[in-house]
Amino acid sequence: MSLPTITIELFGMPRARAEVRELVVSAATVGEALAEVVAKCPTLADVVNADGRLASQYLLSLDGKHFVSDVSQPLQPGDRLLLLSSDAGG
């Protein structure tokens, strides 16, 4: 069984630090997707805490509909995660 392919869009400080607008990764869960972000963009190593959870200075939105923080949340093929600094929205 292959992993779902998802897109992670970067906004604000994450985009500036990674120097890319988006990443395409294969991940079954939010946690796996975050691990792929760190693997592909080491400058974003602080996106996750030591326990693998999303760090408090970041927000993650699933398909722009709602924010997610549960790293065990499953992902479906074609899902889009939006990663932004928690202060980006004011």
Give the CA radius of gyration of the chain: 12
Quote the DSSP letter at residue 74.
Answer: B
* Domains parsed from the chain with CATH numbers: 5-85 (3.10.20.30)
What pTM was estimated for this model as a whole? 0.90
**How confident is the model over 27-39, as pLDDT tens digits?**
999 999 999 999 9
Separation between Cα atoms, residue 88 and residue 25, nearest integer Å:
24
Q: b/e map of 12-47 (b: 16 or more CB within 10 Å)?
A: bbbbebbeeebbebebbbbbbbbbbbeeebeebeeb
pLDDT tens for the chain, residues 1 to 90: 688 999 999 999 999 999 999 999 999 999 999 999 999 999 999 999 998 899 999 999 999 999 999 999 999 999 999 999 987 444
